Structure 1
Amino acid sequence: MPKINVYLPDDLAETVRALNVPVSAICQRALEQSARRVAAIRATDPADLSALDGARATDRFRGALRLAVGRATGEVGTSDLLHGLLSEGDNLALRVLPTLDVDVAALRRAVPERPGATGGSSWSAEAASALELAVVEALGLGHNYVGCEHLLLGLVVEPDGGGGRALREAGADVRSVRRAVTAALSGYEQLRANTPATDQDAALAAVTGLVRRELAPLVERISRLEQRG
């Protein structure tokens, strides 16, 4: 049976060893499911988003994908997905990125509109992987839907595409983005539960401050480590 190496963060590797988790069996099952989803994505016409119905994709997520498809010519790549995410309007990903001191305007300049684009006719391997990783991130966070925040995570985690590379170079690393998304969602749910419906926009705007406060201890620890180094 062929062997595939799986690399884990140090803390997760220690936990797996301590609990004696059956890594091979779990990885085989997870990879089997992911392989099926990636194959299904690759076989889907990008112009037909009905395949997302079973994933409970949000309207904003669908809107981002439509913009991505419209920017592409031939294959829809991860740079197209990033463009769609940044151009969609007012999704949670766009509120999370500034809390990580990511220059959203600079990212938009890195993936501008493409005049004369004819629309994507297929997904690139990297884009299909990013979409699958978005689903995996949603499941890992215990969510029963896939939104733009999950697409952001999928792009950051995907190692080879230009979209993820641009995000990481801008300062959006996996751990910080995941923590920021979690903080934003929990903060928004708390605010929404205690805010009249007429003030929902104000509640959403307040999420940025909550996320910054949640991330402050992490930023301080990183600064101390850098000073020691």
Structure 2
Amino acid sequence: MPKINVYLPDELAEAVKESGVPVSAVCQRALEESVKRVTAIRAVVLDDLASDAASLQLSRFTQRTRDVIALAVARARAQGAVHVGTEHLLHGMLAEGANLALHVLRAIEVDPDRVARELARREPTDGGNTPERFGGDAANALVLTVTEALTLGHNYVGCEHLLLGLVAEPDGVGGQALRAAGVDLRGARAAVVAALAGYVHLRAQPTGAEDVASALRRELAPLIDRLDRVERHVGLVAED
């Protein structure tokens, strides 16, 4: 039977050892599910996104997230790209303009305009093609998007989860642009948790985009502080 190495952060590796989790069985099951999802997403023909079969694959996605995907497809077609890639998904998220992912970016002090500039520097110029499907990096990012939503215990997939999926995907242009702009997965995930915890309250307030970002930063600050103190306590971060 072929062997695949799985690398884990030190703290997770220790936790796995202490818990006695059957690593092979868990990894096999997780990989089986991921392969099914990636295969299903790659099989979606862009012209059939509104079909029942495609809708089933995207059944957990909010309407706003579907709008972002539609913008990504339009961008890929306008550029004559071979496939819809993570760069197109990120473009769609930025172009939609009103999703929670953009508030999360501002909350972690990353200007969406800076992300747009980083994306523009990296976007390939294909030309002359008519994309029919999601590329491998985009399919993987969408699977990671769903995984992030499930891991956080959410029964829907929103643009905030798409942000995490794009950051987590290692090879695509979208993730490269986000990381170059200063987005890291840990901070983004903490910001999403903080944002969702207080978003119902924040929506009731008469706020603009910057006000929401400021409020989210206030929500996020104690969470980040707790994470830093825990990491220092267990020796993951060196003392100043």
TM-score for the superposition, normalised by structure 1: 0.85
Structure 2 vs 1, CA of residues 117 and 176 (structure 1 numbering), >3 Å: closer, same or farther? farther
Alignment of 1:160 with 2:171, yes or no, is: yes
How far 1:9 sits from its partner (Å)?
1.8
Q: Distance in 2 between matches of 1:226 and 1:88?
A: 40
Structure 2 vs 1, CA of residues 119 and 95 (structure 1 numbering), >3 Å: closer, same or farther? farther
Alignment of 1:58 with 2:69, yes or no, is: no
Are 1:47 and 1:69, in contact at CA under 8 Å, matched by a contact in 2? no
Structure 2 vs 1, CA of residues 83 and 175 (structure 1 numbering), >3 Å: closer, same or farther? same
How far 1:60 sits from its partner (Å)?
0.8
Q: Distance in 2 between matches of 1:190 and 1:52?
A: 31
Structure 2 residue identity aligned to 1:19: S
Q: In the alignment, what sits opposite 1:189? A: 200
Q: In the alignment, what sits opposite 2:8? A: 8
Structure 2 vs 1, CA of residues 38 and 170 (structure 1 numbering), >3 Å: closer, same or farther? same
Q: In the alignment, what sits opposite 1:208? A: 213
Q: In the alignment, what sits opposite 2:86? A: 78
Structure 2 vs 1, CA of residues 227 and 12 (structure 1 numbering), >3 Å: closer, same or farther? closer
Q: In the alignment, what sits opposite 2:24? A: 24
Are 1:47 and 1:66, in contact at CA under 8 Å, matched by a contact in 2? no
**Pairwise mapping of residues 74-223 of structure 1 onto structure 2 (< 5 A)?**
74-111=82-119, 120-191=131-202, 195=204, 202=207, 207-217=212-222, 218=224, 221=228
Q: Distance in 2 between matches of 1:9 and 1:49?
A: 37
Structure 2 vs 1, CA of residues 152 and 52 (structure 1 numbering), >3 Å: closer, same or farther? farther
Structure 1 residue identity aligned to 2:113: A
Are 1:188 and 1:203, in contact at CA under 8 Å, matched by a contact in 2? no
Structure 2 vs 1, CA of residues 162 and 219 (structure 1 numbering), >3 Å: closer, same or farther? farther
1:112-140 deviations in whole A, cap 9, x for unaligned?
A: 598x8876311111010000100101110
Structure 2 vs 1, CA of residues 168 and 111 (structure 1 numbering), >3 Å: closer, same or farther? closer
1:31-78 deviations in whole A, cap 9, x for unaligned?
A: 101101100111101243341445321111011101111111220111
Are 2:68 and 2:92, in contact at CA under 8 Å, matched by a contact in 1? yes
Structure 2 residue identity aligned to 1:78: T
What number of residue pairs does the alignment pair up? 221
Q: Distance in 1 between matches of 2:162 and 2:213?
A: 19
TM-score for the superposition, normalised by structure 2: 0.81
How far 1:8 sits from its partner (Å)?
1.5
Q: Distance in 2 between matches of 1:47 and 1:209?
A: 40
Q: Distance in 1 between matches of 2:128 and 2:216?
A: 37
Identity of aligned residues (%): 55
Are 1:60 and 1:148, in contact at CA under 8 Å, matched by a contact in 2? yes
For structure 1, the 5+ residue unaligned runs are: none
